[in-house]
Amino acid sequence: EFFEALAWNQLGIQSKPIILFDIEGYYKKLFEFTSYSVQEGFLPQSTQEDFFISDSPKISCSTINIPALKDPK
């Protein structure tokens, strides 16, 4: 589903940021792979512009303009 969402962005079916919550670096290699694919010309630059990873819920929310969740403390 992740790559389908990227493809839909590339085809203009949707135009939304794709954010993966990167717990313990799980998606780091996937992000590096897409970056490399853009560098080598296999994916358009727009792919990299729409794809974000973060290990912070606050940063993830701000990336898509959702007010950050309040700390329950």
| Per-residue pLDDT tens digits of the chain, which is 73 residues long | 888 988 888 888 988 888 899 999 999 999 999 999 999 999 888 888 888 899 988 888 887 776 555 555 5
30: which residues sit within 8 A by CB, 6+ positions away?
A: 2, 20, 53
User: For residue 63, what is the enclosing H or E element?
Assistant: helix 57-63
pLDDT score recorded for residue 17: 84
Output the pTM of the full model.
0.73
Cβ–Cβ contacts within 10 Å for residue 21, how many?
A: 13
pLDDT score recorded for residue 66: 63
